[in-house]
Structure formats: C-alpha cells, structure tokens
Homo-oligomer: A and B are copies of this chain.
Amino acid sequence: MGSAPGSGYADQVVRPSPAEDRELHGQVALLLSTRDQRYTAQRRQIVRALAKLGRPATIGELVEAANGVPLSTAYRNLSILGEANVVRRVGGADGFTRFELAEQLSGQHHHHHVVCESCGLVIDAAASPALEAALAETARAIAKANGFDVTEHRLELVGRCTSCRDAAAS
C-alpha cells in the first residue's frame, strides 16, 4: 500500500512497479474513453511524469519530466485529465498550482499534504484514523451550526523540509 514498515502515517515517495504501471495506464485509458477522449502520447507522457514524481508537481516540473511537452498542451491536457478524474489540482503554498494523480490511481488512498514553507515542496502524507474521525466529527458540528454540507476536506501540514533546514543551518 506504499507504506514502509515503521513509517507511521507519513509516506515516502514510492515508485510504481512495471505491473502497477501497466495497470495505471489501463485505468487512465478507460477513464478517458468513457468521456470520448483518446489516450495520446502527450497525455501518456504527462501521466507517466506524475507517477514518476510521486508528489504534487508544478507545470514546470511536469513539462521537464514529460520530455518537453509544450506548456499549452500540458495545461490543456491536465485540464482534460482533471475532468476525467485522472488528475487532481493541489493548491500550492506558493502561488503555483500543482497536479497529482487521483487518489485511486496513485496507489495510496485518501491522504493529506505536507508543505515546505521555504521551498514550496509538497509531499503526500496518509491520514490516521483518529484524525479522520476527528475531522468527521468537526464536519458534523459545522453542518449543525451553519447548515454547511461538508463533503470533503483539505489539510496541509506546513513546515520546513530536511534540505531547507540543513541549508538554514549554515
């Protein structure tokens, strides 16, 4: 499930195996076909880049990892892949939109994000059952108090990544 022993509730980046990779592209092709969209070479490049990076990535990181797919093509396809529930937008800490594979495609299920306030790095972190229970309870309280119908949540844990901490200790 992408969790190394003793790693608690925070995941490291885990590369998909070749078999998982085939499975991924099969699922993407299916999701696209139900919306009469083709799984083109450029889209495959983008999906491959997202899987390879294993964390929410900026457009710049993506076009570089996706072998120089043009910006306009990358943006357009990320939008289409988003509508097909292949890609999810992640609001960054800096002003940059980031993109990641949808939870059911990335191997890990529901998760949250850890953000470095210094360099903007974003990594995934699985949520603990206790945290999810507390969130569900909060959602209930809000529905009661404000009539707001809470259907999901976004959690970002903000701090300093290892390399930024090392760099600060100069």
State the A residues within 8 Å of B (CB). 7-12, 91, 112, 114, 116-117, 123, 125, 127-128, 130-131, 133-135, 137-139, 141-142, 144-162, 165
Determine the main DSSP class of A at the interface with B: mixed
Copies in the complex: 2
Contact A156 B157 (CB under 8 A): no
Instruction: List chain B residues, Cβ under 8 A from A9.
Output: 138, 141-142, 145
Residues of B near A112 (CB, < 8 A) are 138
Known: A114-B148, A158-B151, A159-B149. A141 touches B8 (CB 8 A): yes
Return the chain B residue nearest A130 by Cβ: B134
Instruction: Judge whether B8 and A144 touch: CB under 8 Å.
Output: yes
* Complex Cα spacing A134 to B157, Å: 12
